[in-house]
Amino acid sequence: MRALLLGIGMWLVGTAAFGLTYQVAPDGSGDYPTIQAAIDASSSGDTVLCGPGTYQGTGNRNIELPPHDITVRGEAGSGATIIESGYPYGGFRIELGQGSATVVEGFTILDARYGAVREVSAPSPPQRPWRACNSSETAHP
C-alpha cells in the first residue's frame, strides 16, 4: 500500500511539474474544439498543441492568453499552422499576468487588425516577459 501511495504521489508531482498537453485541430476535433477552449482549460505549465491547418472563427481569433504561464504551439510550425483572424480581429491577446515561461510559437497569423500578438494592457514601465517565436503575420492595412 505504501508503494502504491508513493507511486501515485510521484505521478501527481510529475504531472504538476511538466503540465498537461491539450490537442486542438482545425476541424474541431481533439481535446477541445477551439484554441481558446483549450487555453481556458489550461493551468500553469500546460501546453496547447495546435495541429496543422487553418483555424478560423470564434475561439480561434482574438485568442486571450490566461494569467498564468502556458505554451501555445503550432505543432507543424508557422508554415503549416495558420490562424486566419479576419478583419477586424487579431491573433492573440495578452493581458497582465504572463511570465517569462509563456510562449506562443509556430503560427502564421493572417489578416490581423492588431497583429499576431497584441498587448491589451502593459505594466509600467512596458515590458514583455512572454515571447512569440517562429510566428509570422500578415496585418490588415
Beta-bridge partners for 139: 112
| The pLDDT value given to residue 32 | 98
First-to-final CA distance of the chain: 65
* DSSP, res 51: P
Write out the chain's pLDDT in tens, 141 residues.
Answer: 555 444 444 444 444 457 999 999 999 999 999 999 999 999 999 999 999 999 999 999 989 888 888 899 999 988 899 888 887 787 887 766 677 788 888 888 887 766 555 544 444 333 344 444 444 444 443
| The pLDDT value given to residue 113 | 66
| The pLDDT value given to residue 19 | 94
The closest alpha carbon to 71, from 47, 43, 89, 39, belongs to 47
CA angle 136, 107, 40 (to 5 degrees): 130
Cell of 114: 492588431
Give the separation between CA 48 and CA 33, rounded to whole angstroms. 12
Cell of 36: 481558446
Asked if 45 and 76 count as a contact pair (C-beta separation under 8 A), the reply is: no
| The pLDDT value given to residue 52 | 97
Give the separation between CA 102 and CA 67, rounded to whole angstroms. 10
